[in-house]
Amino acid sequence: MARTANTVSTPRTASSLLRPAGVTASRTRRPLVSRQRVVAPSLRVADAAAASVFEAARLRGPIARDAIAKATGLSIATVNRQVIALLEAGLLRERPDLAVSGAIGRPRVPVEVDHDPYLTLGIHIGARTTSIAATDLFGRTLDVVETPTPRGAQPGAVASLAESARRYLSRWHRRRPLWVGVAAGGVFDVTTGHLDHPLLGWTDAPVGPVLAETLGLPVSVAPHLDAMAAAELLLGRSRRRGTTSLFMYARETVGYALSIAGRVHSPAAGPGTIAALPVNSDLLGGTGQLETTVSDQAVVTAARRLNVIPPEGPASTIAAVLRAAQRGDSTARELLDERARVLGESLALLRDMLNPDEVVVGGQAFTDYPAGMETLTAAFTTRSVLPPLEIRTTAFGNRVQEAGAGVVSLGSLYADPIGAMRRALDAPRTSARVLTGQHATG
């Protein structure tokens, strides 16, 4: 079986590539032509015939048609029809060089995903940093850049974000971009692509429409917690149908998402919050609520108070706290272990309320300090009143945010590959704008 591993290149800062364009965006709703390119995300394991055949090729290819029929439960006639349609759409390619010796007829010719010609663009808008990543049809990150999340007045910040994406996309000319996926905190209207993000000061920000207009591509947007849970569901190891998976995230913010029976649960009113769960830590301080106690900023503030790091300057960061712990600084380790304890107890409360079949954690609060997982697990086990349950760390390590944005860009292709391909290739791309200044990347 081919593994759709998420191979990630080292992120590069690219201030010259991602500099603000100095343009502005209207706060009013964009014209209908732009809004029509905003497509609600599909964060689920699809079961339509074309989707099932494409998934079999993606996960098991190169694979013969009869093997696809066995893997999906579809008739060989249905598989043949879908394979022909996917070949015509350019999503699959035949591998006659791998055909069984002596076999007669095309059904024995294996097929695989034709990933070389295409990419999708995933954008994760963080509270401090934005990642822009190119992803192939397997969900593997081809390349990623990071830039500070645009600040300032909302129209200029959104326009700067779109221009950064345009500049990045202009570097790719050997692969055709098909779709854009955006993941962010706050609350998205997934049908219009507008975002309310209190930490950034954005209200009804037209992120989806501005990106669609600037890039000339279909755009899907999703809350970042839903997106990261979808990455585990579609690209990671949480693929058991009929089960419930709880995903908990912690970095500068905290949150959770649920996948139920192969679909990320996305309430119409937006995701719930665990930021205000009551907690107590004399060492970390905070306001008695989870997010203000375990966020990166809370750890940094406590580390400054305890003289682990300087009170200000470039050495006064969460990275400096982590480095101090790695060097054996006992106070730094105590702070990070205390954060792990608080997170473990809060995770236990969440688990006891929802009683999922599996628990997955992601975000740098977990992945940047793996030594804390032992403390977290002990606190979780002690606090939970339900039978023991293994806690699994995300399959994507400290790149889970990029994986989430990548899945948002791929969800429509996975759910309706032929329809999504038609929409992507029919998109009226403004080629001269998007492809200006391209060079040999891709």
Q: Return the amino acid letter for 411.
A: G
Torsion (CA) 35, 37, 40, 44 in degrees, nearest 10: 180
CA 368 to chain centroid, in Å, comes to 18
Mean pLDDT value across residues 323-335? 97
Mean pLDDT value across residues 121-149? 95
For the domain made up of 238-393, give the CATH fold: Nucleotidyltransferase; domain 5 (3.30.420)
Q: Name the DSSP class of 117.
A: T
Mean pLDDT value across residues 105-111? 75
- CA-based angle 56:137:115, to the nearest 5? 90
Give burial (CB, 10 Å; 0-12/13-18/19+) of 97: exposed
Q: Give me the half-sphere count of Cα atoms (radius 13 Å) on the Cβ side of residue 162.
A: 26
In the chain, where the domains are located? 47-111, 114-227+398-420, 238-393
Please tell me if the domain spanning 47-111 has the same topology as the one spanning 114-227+398-420.
Answer: no
What whole-number distance in Å separates Cα of residue 420 and Cα of residue 411? 9
What whole-number distance in Å separates Cα of residue 95 and Cα of residue 286? 59
**Confidence (pLDDT) at 223:** 94
Q: What is the pTM of this model?
A: 0.85
Q: Return the amino acid letter for 298.
A: A
DSSP bridge partners of 194: 189
* 385-420 confidence digits (pLDDT tens): 999 999 999 999 989 999 999 999 999 999 999 999
Q: How far does the chain reach from its first CA to its final CA, in angstroms?
A: 26
**Confidence (pLDDT) at 36:** 54
**Confidence (pLDDT) at 15:** 38
Rg of the Cα atoms in the chain? 23
In 10 A of CB 39, how many CB atoms? 22
Instruction: Select from 53, 75, 65 the least CA-distant residue to 98.
Output: 65
What whole-number distance in Å separates Cα of residue 305 and Cα of residue 244? 41
φ/ψ of residue 194, rounded to 5:
-95, 145
CATH assignment of 47-111, among 1.10.10.10, 2.40.40.20, 1.10.3720.10, 1.20.120.1200: 1.10.10.10
In contact, 433 and 166? CB cutoff 8 Å: yes
- Does domain 114-227+398-420 bear CATH number 3.30.420.40? yes
Instruction: Select from 81, 93, 85 the least CA-distant residue to 117.
Output: 93
237 pLDDT above the threshold of 70: no
Q: Among residues of the chain, what percentage have pLDDT more than 70? A: 85
**Confidence (pLDDT) at 426:** 81
